[in-house]
Amino acid sequence: MRKTLHTFLILITVLLILFLLSIVSIKIGFFPLENQSFKELFQIANALSGVNYIIFLLILVISIFISVYHIIKINLFYLHMVSFCSYIGRAIKSIWNDLKDRYVLLILLPPLIASIYFAIVLPISYDEALTYVDFTNNPVLYCISSYPAPNNHVFHSIITHITKHIPFFDILFRLRISSVVVSILTWVIAYSFVKRYYSRKVALFSVAISSMLFMSIYYSYMSRGYALVAFFFVISLYATFNIIKYGSRNKDWAIFSICSVLGFYAVPSYLYPFVTLNFVILLYNYRNIRQQFVFNVFITLATLLCYMPIILHQGFGVLSITPGDRMGVLSLFPLFFRNTFSEIYGLHLIYTFIAIGIPFIVALLKKKKEILKLWIIFGLAPVVLLAIHSVIPFPRTFIYYGFIVVFLMGISVSEYIEKIPVKWLTVMLLVLQAGLFYNFKNNIEEYESFNIGFHDVSEKFIEEGKTFYVLSGLNIESHKFEMMLRGYDYSKSKYDRIFTDFENFRLVNTDTLKGNFDYIVIDRPWDKTEKRKPVYSNKTLNVYIME
Protein backbone atom coordinates (compact mmCIF):
# COMPACT_ATOMS: atom_id res chain seq x y z
CA MET A 1 0.00 0.00 0.00
CA ARG A 2 2.79 2.41 0.91
CA LYS A 3 4.64 1.68 -2.35
CA THR A 4 1.43 2.16 -4.33
CA LEU A 5 0.82 5.52 -2.68
CA HIS A 6 4.42 6.52 -3.27
CA THR A 7 4.17 5.58 -6.95
CA PHE A 8 0.88 7.46 -7.30
CA LEU A 9 2.39 10.64 -5.84
CA ILE A 10 5.36 10.39 -8.20
CA LEU A 11 3.01 9.94 -11.15
CA ILE A 12 0.97 12.98 -10.13
CA THR A 13 4.14 15.06 -9.76
CA VAL A 14 5.42 14.02 -13.19
CA LEU A 15 2.07 14.84 -14.80
CA LEU A 16 1.97 18.26 -13.12
CA ILE A 17 5.51 19.02 -14.31
CA LEU A 18 4.69 17.94 -17.88
CA PHE A 19 1.52 20.02 -17.82
CA LEU A 20 3.45 23.05 -16.57
CA LEU A 21 6.11 22.66 -19.27
CA SER A 22 3.47 22.16 -21.96
CA ILE A 23 1.51 25.28 -21.00
CA VAL A 24 4.67 27.41 -20.88
CA SER A 25 5.93 26.00 -24.20
CA ILE A 26 2.63 26.66 -25.95
CA LYS A 27 2.41 30.15 -24.46
CA ILE A 28 5.85 31.13 -25.78
CA GLY A 29 5.08 29.58 -29.17
CA PHE A 30 7.42 26.58 -29.00
CA PHE A 31 4.76 24.32 -30.56
CA PRO A 32 3.17 25.31 -33.89
CA LEU A 33 -0.40 26.60 -33.46
CA GLU A 34 -1.77 24.28 -36.15
CA ASN A 35 -0.66 21.19 -34.24
CA GLN A 36 -3.99 19.56 -33.27
CA SER A 37 -2.34 17.41 -30.59
CA PHE A 38 -2.02 20.51 -28.42
CA LYS A 39 -5.40 22.01 -29.28
CA GLU A 40 -6.99 21.81 -25.80
CA LEU A 41 -3.79 22.85 -24.04
CA PHE A 42 -3.50 25.78 -26.43
CA GLN A 43 -7.05 26.80 -25.59
CA ILE A 44 -6.16 26.84 -21.89
CA ALA A 45 -2.98 28.80 -22.46
CA ASN A 46 -4.75 31.20 -24.80
CA ALA A 47 -7.53 31.81 -22.26
CA LEU A 48 -4.97 32.79 -19.62
CA SER A 49 -3.17 36.09 -19.94
CA GLY A 50 -1.51 38.69 -17.75
CA VAL A 51 -1.97 38.22 -14.03
CA ASN A 52 -4.21 35.17 -14.49
CA TYR A 53 -1.46 33.37 -16.35
CA ILE A 54 1.08 34.12 -13.60
CA ILE A 55 -1.39 32.96 -10.93
CA PHE A 56 -2.04 29.78 -12.89
CA LEU A 57 1.68 29.01 -13.11
CA LEU A 58 2.09 29.79 -9.41
CA ILE A 59 -0.68 27.32 -8.51
CA LEU A 60 0.95 24.62 -10.62
CA VAL A 61 4.36 25.22 -9.04
CA ILE A 62 2.89 25.15 -5.50
CA SER A 63 1.05 21.91 -6.34
CA ILE A 64 4.30 20.36 -7.55
CA PHE A 65 6.10 21.39 -4.35
CA ILE A 66 3.30 19.92 -2.22
CA SER A 67 3.50 16.64 -4.14
CA VAL A 68 7.28 16.51 -3.79
CA TYR A 69 6.99 17.26 -0.05
CA HIS A 70 4.63 14.33 0.44
CA ILE A 71 6.94 12.06 -1.56
CA ILE A 72 9.81 12.97 0.77
CA LYS A 73 7.61 12.69 3.89
CA ILE A 74 5.88 9.54 2.65
CA ASN A 75 6.17 7.71 5.99
CA LEU A 76 4.44 10.47 7.97
CA PHE A 77 1.88 11.06 5.23
CA TYR A 78 1.16 7.34 4.97
CA LEU A 79 0.54 6.95 8.71
CA HIS A 80 -1.90 9.87 8.79
CA MET A 81 -3.68 8.62 5.70
CA VAL A 82 -4.01 5.07 7.02
CA SER A 83 -5.35 6.37 10.34
CA PHE A 84 -7.91 8.58 8.60
CA CYS A 85 -9.00 5.83 6.21
CA SER A 86 -9.39 3.47 9.14
CA TYR A 87 -11.59 6.04 10.88
CA ILE A 88 -13.75 6.39 7.75
CA GLY A 89 -13.98 2.60 7.49
CA ARG A 90 -15.22 2.29 11.07
CA ALA A 91 -17.77 5.04 10.49
CA ILE A 92 -19.11 3.30 7.37
CA LYS A 93 -19.30 -0.01 9.23
CA SER A 94 -21.19 1.64 12.08
CA ILE A 95 -23.68 3.20 9.65
CA TRP A 96 -24.07 -0.14 7.88
CA ASN A 97 -24.84 -1.85 11.19
CA ASP A 98 -27.58 0.71 11.83
CA LEU A 99 -29.26 -0.39 8.61
CA LYS A 100 -29.78 -3.90 9.93
CA ASP A 101 -32.77 -2.58 11.86
CA ARG A 102 -35.94 -3.60 9.96
CA TYR A 103 -37.79 -0.52 11.17
CA VAL A 104 -35.32 1.91 9.67
CA LEU A 105 -35.44 -0.03 6.40
CA LEU A 106 -39.22 0.41 6.37
CA ILE A 107 -38.82 4.14 7.03
CA LEU A 108 -36.23 4.54 4.25
CA LEU A 109 -38.35 2.69 1.69
CA PRO A 110 -40.89 5.51 0.98
CA PRO A 111 -38.25 8.19 0.16
CA LEU A 112 -36.40 5.72 -2.05
CA ILE A 113 -39.58 4.75 -3.89
CA ALA A 114 -40.61 8.41 -4.20
CA SER A 115 -37.28 9.53 -5.68
CA ILE A 116 -37.16 6.70 -8.22
CA TYR A 117 -40.84 7.04 -9.14
CA PHE A 118 -40.74 10.80 -9.75
CA ALA A 119 -37.37 10.53 -11.51
CA ILE A 120 -39.08 8.27 -14.03
CA VAL A 121 -42.50 9.90 -14.47
CA LEU A 122 -41.78 13.64 -14.27
CA PRO A 123 -40.42 15.43 -17.35
CA ILE A 124 -37.24 17.47 -17.60
CA SER A 125 -37.19 20.80 -15.77
CA TYR A 126 -35.70 23.96 -17.23
CA ASP A 127 -32.70 23.92 -14.88
CA GLU A 128 -31.99 20.27 -15.63
CA ALA A 129 -32.21 20.90 -19.36
CA LEU A 130 -29.83 23.83 -19.05
CA THR A 131 -27.42 21.68 -17.03
CA TYR A 132 -27.38 19.03 -19.74
CA VAL A 133 -27.32 21.28 -22.81
CA ASP A 134 -24.73 23.74 -21.49
CA PHE A 135 -22.52 21.55 -19.32
CA THR A 136 -23.09 17.79 -19.42
CA ASN A 137 -23.20 17.76 -23.20
CA ASN A 138 -20.01 19.84 -23.45
CA PRO A 139 -16.43 18.76 -22.64
CA VAL A 140 -15.74 18.45 -18.92
CA LEU A 141 -12.99 21.06 -19.32
CA TYR A 142 -15.68 23.60 -20.25
CA CYS A 143 -17.78 22.43 -17.30
CA ILE A 144 -15.06 23.11 -14.71
CA SER A 145 -13.86 26.39 -16.21
CA SER A 146 -17.09 28.16 -17.18
CA TYR A 147 -19.73 29.76 -15.00
CA PRO A 148 -22.09 31.63 -17.35
CA ALA A 149 -24.92 31.36 -14.81
CA PRO A 150 -25.54 29.89 -11.33
CA ASN A 151 -27.09 26.87 -13.08
CA ASN A 152 -23.62 25.33 -13.25
CA HIS A 153 -23.49 23.39 -10.00
CA VAL A 154 -19.97 22.34 -10.91
CA PHE A 155 -19.52 19.23 -8.78
CA HIS A 156 -22.91 17.90 -9.83
CA SER A 157 -22.15 18.72 -13.47
CA ILE A 158 -18.94 16.71 -13.22
CA ILE A 159 -20.87 13.76 -11.78
CA THR A 160 -23.32 13.88 -14.69
CA HIS A 161 -20.35 13.56 -17.05
CA ILE A 162 -19.91 10.11 -15.47
CA THR A 163 -23.53 9.03 -15.09
CA LYS A 164 -24.43 10.00 -18.67
CA HIS A 165 -22.46 6.91 -19.77
CA ILE A 166 -24.54 4.47 -17.70
CA PRO A 167 -26.15 1.96 -20.08
CA PHE A 168 -29.81 0.88 -20.37
CA PHE A 169 -31.45 4.08 -19.03
CA ASP A 170 -32.56 7.11 -21.04
CA ILE A 171 -30.68 10.40 -20.86
CA LEU A 172 -33.00 11.97 -18.27
CA PHE A 173 -32.78 9.13 -15.75
CA ARG A 174 -28.99 9.00 -16.19
CA LEU A 175 -28.92 12.68 -15.30
CA ARG A 176 -31.05 12.12 -12.22
CA ILE A 177 -29.64 8.87 -10.87
CA SER A 178 -26.86 10.55 -8.87
CA SER A 179 -29.43 12.66 -6.99
CA VAL A 180 -31.45 9.53 -6.18
CA VAL A 181 -28.37 7.78 -4.76
CA VAL A 182 -27.07 10.82 -2.87
CA SER A 183 -30.50 11.48 -1.38
CA ILE A 184 -30.98 8.01 0.10
CA LEU A 185 -27.42 8.09 1.47
CA THR A 186 -28.26 11.40 3.14
CA TRP A 187 -31.13 9.84 5.08
CA VAL A 188 -29.07 6.77 6.00
CA ILE A 189 -26.36 8.99 7.50
CA ALA A 190 -28.94 11.28 9.12
CA TYR A 191 -30.52 8.29 10.87
CA SER A 192 -27.14 7.11 12.13
CA PHE A 193 -26.30 10.60 13.42
CA VAL A 194 -29.53 11.13 15.35
CA LYS A 195 -29.49 7.61 16.73
CA ARG A 196 -25.90 7.98 17.91
CA TYR A 197 -26.50 11.25 19.72
CA TYR A 198 -30.11 10.86 20.84
CA SER A 199 -32.11 7.68 20.33
CA ARG A 200 -33.36 5.17 17.81
CA LYS A 201 -36.95 6.41 17.98
CA VAL A 202 -36.04 10.06 17.60
CA ALA A 203 -33.91 9.08 14.61
CA LEU A 204 -36.85 7.25 13.03
CA PHE A 205 -39.06 10.30 13.63
CA SER A 206 -36.55 12.80 12.22
CA VAL A 207 -35.67 10.86 9.08
CA ALA A 208 -39.19 9.62 8.29
CA ILE A 209 -40.68 13.12 8.18
CA SER A 210 -37.79 15.18 6.80
CA SER A 211 -37.17 12.75 3.93
CA MET A 212 -40.76 13.14 2.66
CA LEU A 213 -41.10 16.91 2.83
CA PHE A 214 -41.93 18.60 -0.46
CA MET A 215 -38.49 20.00 -1.24
CA SER A 216 -36.75 16.85 0.05
CA ILE A 217 -38.63 14.72 -2.48
CA TYR A 218 -38.23 17.32 -5.23
CA TYR A 219 -34.45 17.44 -5.03
CA SER A 220 -34.14 13.72 -4.33
CA TYR A 221 -34.61 13.15 -8.05
CA MET A 222 -33.97 16.55 -9.65
CA SER A 223 -30.63 16.70 -11.46
CA ARG A 224 -29.27 19.68 -9.54
CA GLY A 225 -26.67 20.23 -6.84
CA TYR A 226 -29.07 20.61 -3.91
CA ALA A 227 -29.14 16.91 -3.04
CA LEU A 228 -25.37 17.24 -2.58
CA VAL A 229 -25.87 20.30 -0.37
CA ALA A 230 -28.18 18.33 1.95
CA PHE A 231 -25.79 15.36 1.89
CA PHE A 232 -22.69 17.35 2.83
CA PHE A 233 -24.61 19.36 5.41
CA VAL A 234 -25.76 16.22 7.25
CA ILE A 235 -22.23 14.80 7.32
CA SER A 236 -20.83 18.17 8.43
CA LEU A 237 -23.46 18.35 11.19
CA TYR A 238 -22.41 14.87 12.31
CA ALA A 239 -18.76 15.99 12.29
CA THR A 240 -19.73 19.17 14.20
CA PHE A 241 -21.22 17.14 17.04
CA ASN A 242 -18.14 14.87 17.04
CA ILE A 243 -15.82 17.89 17.20
CA ILE A 244 -17.70 19.27 20.18
CA LYS A 245 -18.05 15.97 22.05
CA TYR A 246 -14.68 14.31 21.41
CA GLY A 247 -12.28 17.17 21.99
CA SER A 248 -11.87 18.68 18.55
CA ARG A 249 -10.10 15.75 16.90
CA ASN A 250 -8.24 16.43 13.66
CA LYS A 251 -9.98 13.53 11.91
CA ASP A 252 -13.40 15.04 12.63
CA TRP A 253 -12.15 18.39 11.37
CA ALA A 254 -10.84 16.64 8.25
CA ILE A 255 -14.31 15.24 7.49
CA PHE A 256 -15.88 18.63 8.17
CA SER A 257 -13.34 20.27 5.85
CA ILE A 258 -13.75 17.80 2.98
CA CYS A 259 -17.55 18.06 3.11
CA SER A 260 -17.40 21.85 3.30
CA VAL A 261 -15.15 22.11 0.25
CA LEU A 262 -17.32 19.72 -1.76
CA GLY A 263 -20.47 21.50 -0.55
CA PHE A 264 -19.06 24.81 -1.81
CA TYR A 265 -18.08 23.13 -5.07
CA ALA A 266 -21.64 21.85 -5.47
CA VAL A 267 -23.30 25.22 -4.84
CA PRO A 268 -21.52 28.43 -3.68
CA SER A 269 -24.46 29.25 -1.40
CA TYR A 270 -23.21 26.43 0.85
CA LEU A 271 -21.67 29.45 2.57
CA TYR A 272 -24.81 29.70 4.74
CA PRO A 273 -24.72 26.22 6.35
CA PHE A 274 -20.93 26.46 6.56
CA VAL A 275 -21.01 29.70 8.58
CA THR A 276 -23.88 28.43 10.75
CA LEU A 277 -22.09 25.20 11.69
CA ASN A 278 -18.88 27.13 12.35
CA PHE A 279 -20.76 29.30 14.82
CA VAL A 280 -22.12 26.21 16.59
CA ILE A 281 -18.60 24.82 16.87
CA LEU A 282 -17.22 28.13 18.12
CA LEU A 283 -19.93 28.41 20.75
CA TYR A 284 -19.02 25.06 22.32
CA ASN A 285 -15.40 24.75 21.26
CA TYR A 286 -14.01 28.28 21.65
CA ARG A 287 -10.91 27.05 23.48
CA ASN A 288 -9.77 25.46 20.20
CA ILE A 289 -10.43 28.53 18.08
CA ARG A 290 -6.91 28.44 16.66
CA GLN A 291 -7.46 24.94 15.29
CA GLN A 292 -10.81 26.03 13.88
CA PHE A 293 -9.17 28.99 12.18
CA VAL A 294 -6.47 26.82 10.58
CA PHE A 295 -8.98 24.33 9.18
CA ASN A 296 -11.18 27.13 7.88
CA VAL A 297 -8.20 28.65 6.10
CA PHE A 298 -7.59 25.24 4.49
CA ILE A 299 -11.27 25.04 3.47
CA THR A 300 -11.10 28.50 1.93
CA LEU A 301 -7.92 27.77 -0.03
CA ALA A 302 -9.13 24.35 -1.18
CA THR A 303 -12.44 25.85 -2.34
CA LEU A 304 -10.62 28.59 -4.25
CA LEU A 305 -8.44 25.90 -5.84
CA CYS A 306 -11.54 24.00 -6.99
CA TYR A 307 -12.96 27.15 -8.56
CA MET A 308 -9.60 28.38 -9.85
CA PRO A 309 -10.25 27.36 -13.50
CA ILE A 310 -13.41 29.51 -13.41
CA ILE A 311 -11.71 32.37 -11.57
CA LEU A 312 -8.79 32.41 -14.01
CA HIS A 313 -11.09 32.16 -17.00
CA GLN A 314 -13.88 34.54 -16.00
CA GLY A 315 -12.83 36.29 -12.81
CA PHE A 316 -14.01 35.89 -9.23
CA GLY A 317 -17.04 38.13 -9.75
CA VAL A 318 -19.02 35.48 -11.65
CA LEU A 319 -19.24 33.37 -8.45
CA SER A 320 -20.59 36.15 -6.26
CA ILE A 321 -23.99 37.83 -6.03
CA THR A 322 -24.09 41.61 -6.06
CA PRO A 323 -25.67 42.76 -2.78
CA GLY A 324 -28.89 44.73 -3.09
CA ASP A 325 -30.16 47.70 -1.16
CA ARG A 326 -30.19 46.51 2.43
CA MET A 327 -33.47 48.18 3.40
CA GLY A 328 -35.08 46.85 0.24
CA VAL A 329 -33.82 43.36 1.03
CA LEU A 330 -35.07 43.56 4.62
CA SER A 331 -38.51 44.63 3.41
CA LEU A 332 -38.71 41.42 1.34
CA PHE A 333 -37.90 39.15 4.30
CA PRO A 334 -41.55 38.36 5.26
CA LEU A 335 -42.39 37.28 1.70
CA PHE A 336 -39.12 35.35 1.29
CA PHE A 337 -39.44 33.36 4.50
CA ARG A 338 -43.13 32.68 3.85
CA ASN A 339 -42.21 31.26 0.43
CA THR A 340 -39.28 29.33 1.90
CA PHE A 341 -41.44 27.63 4.55
CA SER A 342 -44.07 26.91 1.91
CA GLU A 343 -41.63 25.33 -0.56
CA ILE A 344 -39.55 23.34 1.93
CA TYR A 345 -42.46 21.78 3.81
CA GLY A 346 -45.12 21.86 1.11
CA LEU A 347 -47.95 22.38 3.61
CA HIS A 348 -50.25 25.24 4.51
CA LEU A 349 -48.29 27.75 6.58
CA ILE A 350 -50.65 27.48 9.55
CA TYR A 351 -50.09 23.71 9.81
CA THR A 352 -46.35 24.19 9.37
CA PHE A 353 -46.09 26.80 12.12
CA ILE A 354 -48.24 24.73 14.51
CA ALA A 355 -46.12 21.63 13.89
CA ILE A 356 -42.89 23.57 14.48
CA GLY A 357 -44.21 25.78 17.27
CA ILE A 358 -45.45 23.03 19.61
CA PRO A 359 -42.05 21.27 20.00
CA PHE A 360 -40.33 24.65 20.44
CA ILE A 361 -42.78 25.63 23.19
CA VAL A 362 -42.24 22.24 24.86
CA ALA A 363 -38.48 22.82 24.85
CA LEU A 364 -39.06 26.33 26.22
CA LEU A 365 -41.40 25.23 29.02
CA LYS A 366 -39.15 22.34 30.03
CA LYS A 367 -36.09 24.65 29.91
CA LYS A 368 -34.03 22.44 27.62
CA LYS A 369 -31.21 24.94 27.38
CA GLU A 370 -28.92 23.10 24.98
CA ILE A 371 -31.77 22.34 22.58
CA LEU A 372 -33.03 25.93 22.81
CA LYS A 373 -29.55 27.16 21.87
CA LEU A 374 -29.76 25.14 18.67
CA TRP A 375 -33.27 26.46 17.97
CA ILE A 376 -32.05 30.03 18.37
CA ILE A 377 -28.87 29.55 16.29
CA PHE A 378 -30.59 27.82 13.37
CA GLY A 379 -33.61 30.10 13.66
CA LEU A 380 -31.65 33.33 13.51
CA ALA A 381 -28.87 32.22 11.13
CA PRO A 382 -30.76 32.78 7.84
CA VAL A 383 -32.07 36.16 8.99
CA VAL A 384 -28.67 37.41 10.15
CA LEU A 385 -26.69 36.00 7.23
CA LEU A 386 -29.06 37.32 4.57
CA ALA A 387 -29.18 40.72 6.28
CA ILE A 388 -25.36 40.87 6.29
CA HIS A 389 -25.09 39.54 2.73
CA SER A 390 -27.97 41.79 1.64
CA VAL A 391 -29.44 39.35 -0.87
CA ILE A 392 -32.67 37.43 -1.41
CA PRO A 393 -31.77 33.95 -2.71
CA PHE A 394 -34.04 31.18 -3.93
CA PRO A 395 -35.88 29.31 -1.11
CA ARG A 396 -34.08 26.10 -2.15
CA THR A 397 -30.86 27.66 -0.85
CA PHE A 398 -32.03 26.53 2.60
CA ILE A 399 -33.06 23.01 1.61
CA TYR A 400 -31.14 21.61 4.58
CA TYR A 401 -33.66 23.24 6.94
CA GLY A 402 -36.04 20.46 6.03
CA PHE A 403 -33.93 18.09 8.09
CA ILE A 404 -32.61 20.44 10.76
CA VAL A 405 -36.04 21.73 11.84
CA VAL A 406 -37.62 18.26 12.01
CA PHE A 407 -34.51 17.09 13.92
CA LEU A 408 -34.99 19.95 16.43
CA MET A 409 -38.67 19.08 16.71
CA GLY A 410 -37.79 15.44 17.45
CA ILE A 411 -35.23 16.12 20.15
CA SER A 412 -37.54 18.73 21.75
CA VAL A 413 -40.33 16.20 22.32
CA SER A 414 -38.11 13.13 22.63
CA GLU A 415 -39.60 12.03 25.96
CA TYR A 416 -43.03 11.72 24.34
CA ILE A 417 -41.67 9.90 21.30
CA GLU A 418 -39.90 7.43 23.57
CA LYS A 419 -43.20 6.43 25.16
CA ILE A 420 -44.54 5.07 21.88
CA PRO A 421 -43.63 1.43 21.14
CA VAL A 422 -41.28 1.29 18.16
CA LYS A 423 -43.70 -0.87 16.19
CA TRP A 424 -46.57 1.60 16.50
CA LEU A 425 -44.27 4.57 16.00
CA THR A 426 -43.14 3.04 12.71
CA VAL A 427 -46.72 2.43 11.60
CA MET A 428 -47.65 6.03 12.44
CA LEU A 429 -44.63 7.36 10.56
CA LEU A 430 -45.35 5.20 7.51
CA VAL A 431 -48.92 6.56 7.41
CA LEU A 432 -47.54 10.09 7.70
CA GLN A 433 -45.03 9.38 4.91
CA ALA A 434 -47.84 8.10 2.69
CA GLY A 435 -49.71 11.34 3.34
CA LEU A 436 -46.65 13.43 2.47
CA PHE A 437 -46.14 11.38 -0.69
CA TYR A 438 -49.73 12.08 -1.73
CA ASN A 439 -49.26 15.76 -0.86
CA PHE A 440 -46.26 15.98 -3.16
CA LYS A 441 -47.95 14.07 -5.97
CA ASN A 442 -51.02 16.26 -5.63
CA ASN A 443 -49.08 19.54 -5.78
CA ILE A 444 -46.15 18.84 -8.09
CA GLU A 445 -48.21 19.30 -11.26
CA GLU A 446 -49.02 22.88 -10.27
CA TYR A 447 -45.47 23.51 -9.03
CA GLU A 448 -43.98 22.14 -12.26
CA SER A 449 -46.77 23.36 -14.57
CA PHE A 450 -44.30 25.36 -16.63
CA ASN A 451 -42.12 22.34 -17.38
CA ILE A 452 -44.99 19.85 -17.65
CA GLY A 453 -46.80 22.14 -20.10
CA PHE A 454 -43.79 22.32 -22.37
CA HIS A 455 -43.30 18.56 -22.16
CA ASP A 456 -46.87 18.11 -23.38
CA VAL A 457 -46.01 20.21 -26.42
CA SER A 458 -42.93 18.10 -27.04
CA GLU A 459 -44.94 14.88 -26.82
CA LYS A 460 -47.50 16.12 -29.33
CA PHE A 461 -45.39 17.92 -31.91
CA ILE A 462 -41.76 16.80 -31.86
CA GLU A 463 -41.23 14.39 -34.73
CA GLU A 464 -38.30 13.44 -36.87
CA GLY A 465 -37.65 16.04 -39.55
CA LYS A 466 -39.86 18.73 -37.96
CA THR A 467 -38.32 22.14 -37.30
CA PHE A 468 -39.36 24.73 -34.73
CA TYR A 469 -39.21 28.42 -34.08
CA VAL A 470 -39.18 28.68 -30.28
CA LEU A 471 -39.74 32.11 -28.77
CA SER A 472 -39.48 31.69 -25.05
CA GLY A 473 -37.91 32.88 -21.86
CA LEU A 474 -37.01 29.53 -20.34
CA ASN A 475 -38.08 26.79 -22.73
CA ILE A 476 -35.24 26.96 -25.22
CA GLU A 477 -32.92 24.50 -23.45
CA SER A 478 -35.91 22.28 -22.64
CA HIS A 479 -36.77 22.06 -26.32
CA LYS A 480 -33.17 21.23 -27.26
CA PHE A 481 -33.12 18.50 -24.61
CA GLU A 482 -36.45 17.04 -25.71
CA MET A 483 -35.08 16.87 -29.27
CA MET A 484 -31.87 15.15 -28.13
CA LEU A 485 -33.84 12.78 -25.89
CA ARG A 486 -35.59 11.51 -29.00
CA GLY A 487 -32.40 11.42 -31.04
CA TYR A 488 -33.34 14.35 -33.31
CA ASP A 489 -31.22 17.22 -34.58
CA TYR A 490 -32.23 20.62 -33.19
CA SER A 491 -29.65 22.62 -35.15
CA LYS A 492 -32.18 23.40 -37.92
CA SER A 493 -34.63 24.94 -35.47
CA LYS A 494 -34.36 28.59 -34.42
CA TYR A 495 -34.45 29.92 -30.87
CA ASP A 496 -35.12 33.47 -29.67
CA ARG A 497 -35.45 34.59 -26.09
CA ILE A 498 -38.43 36.76 -25.33
CA PHE A 499 -36.56 38.76 -22.73
CA THR A 500 -33.02 39.62 -21.78
CA ASP A 501 -33.79 39.46 -18.08
CA PHE A 502 -36.81 38.99 -15.83
CA GLU A 503 -37.88 42.64 -16.05
CA ASN A 504 -37.32 43.66 -19.67
CA PHE A 505 -39.14 41.70 -22.34
CA ARG A 506 -40.95 42.31 -25.59
CA LEU A 507 -44.36 41.16 -26.77
CA VAL A 508 -44.47 39.16 -29.99
CA ASN A 509 -46.99 38.97 -32.81
CA THR A 510 -46.46 35.69 -34.67
CA ASP A 511 -48.52 36.99 -37.63
CA THR A 512 -45.45 38.91 -38.78
CA LEU A 513 -42.98 36.06 -38.37
CA LYS A 514 -41.69 34.38 -41.50
CA GLY A 515 -39.41 31.42 -41.98
CA ASN A 516 -39.12 27.87 -43.21
CA PHE A 517 -40.22 26.14 -40.00
CA ASP A 518 -42.99 23.71 -39.20
CA TYR A 519 -44.11 25.15 -35.85
CA ILE A 520 -43.91 28.26 -33.71
CA VAL A 521 -43.83 27.70 -29.95
CA ILE A 522 -44.30 30.81 -27.82
CA ASP A 523 -44.88 31.62 -24.16
CA ARG A 524 -48.50 32.72 -23.71
CA PRO A 525 -47.91 35.80 -21.49
CA TRP A 526 -46.08 37.53 -24.31
CA ASP A 527 -48.06 36.28 -27.28
CA LYS A 528 -49.85 39.15 -29.05
CA THR A 529 -50.86 37.22 -32.13
CA GLU A 530 -54.08 38.59 -33.68
CA LYS A 531 -54.94 36.53 -36.78
CA ARG A 532 -53.33 33.13 -36.45
CA LYS A 533 -55.11 30.56 -34.34
CA PRO A 534 -53.00 28.18 -32.21
CA VAL A 535 -53.21 24.51 -33.04
CA TYR A 536 -52.54 23.77 -29.39
CA SER A 537 -52.62 25.75 -26.12
CA ASN A 538 -52.09 25.07 -22.47
CA LYS A 539 -51.57 27.25 -19.39
CA THR A 540 -48.11 28.36 -20.44
CA LEU A 541 -47.70 27.95 -24.22
CA ASN A 542 -49.26 28.46 -27.60
CA VAL A 543 -48.27 26.45 -30.66
CA TYR A 544 -48.83 27.69 -34.22
CA ILE A 545 -48.27 26.14 -37.61
CA MET A 546 -45.75 28.19 -39.58
CA GLU A 547 -47.21 29.37 -42.89
Spatial CA neighbour of 254 closest among 272, 242, 271, 269: 242
* % of the chain with per-residue pLDDT over 70: 87
Cα distance between the two ends of the chain? 70
* Winning range, highest mean pLDDT, from 56-60, 431-435, 500-504, 538-542: 431-435
For residue 220, how far is the Cα from the chain centroid? Answer: 10
Determine the pLDDT at residue 391.
85
* CA atoms of 314 and 298, how far apart (whole Å): 23
Determine the pLDDT at residue 547.
67
Determine the pLDDT at residue 195.
95
Q: Which helix or strand (DSSP H or E) is residue 496 part of?
A: strand 494-497
Residue 94 confidence class, pLDDT cut points 50, 70, 90: confident
Residue 518 confidence class, pLDDT cut points 50, 70, 90: confident
Mean pLDDT, rounded, of the chain:
85
* Distances from the Cα of 535 to the Cα of 529, 541, 542, angstroms: 13, 11, 8
User: CB count, 10 Å around CB of 308?
Assistant: 16
| Domain extents in the chain | 2-72, 83-447, 450-545
| 304 or 324, greater pLDDT | 304
- Find the mean pLDDT for residues 439-468: 86
Q: Under a CB-based contact definition with an 8 Å cutoff, are residues 107 and 204 in contact? A: yes
Determine the pLDDT at residue 501.
46
- Find the mean pLDDT for residues 149-176: 88
Q: Under a CB-based contact definition with an 8 Å cutoff, are residues 332 and 392 in contact? A: yes
Q: Under a CB-based contact definition with an 8 Å cutoff, are residues 24 and 31 in contact? A: no
Determine the pLDDT at residue 54.
67
Q: Which helix or strand (DSSP H or E) is residue 236 part of?
A: helix 226-245
- Find the mean pLDDT for residues 497-523: 70
φ/ψ of residue 124, rounded to 5? -60, 140
| Complete DSSP assignment for 424-481 | HHHHHHHHHHHHHHHHHHHHHHHHTHHHHHHHHHHHHH--TT--EEEEESS-HHHHHH
Determine the pLDDT at residue 381.
94
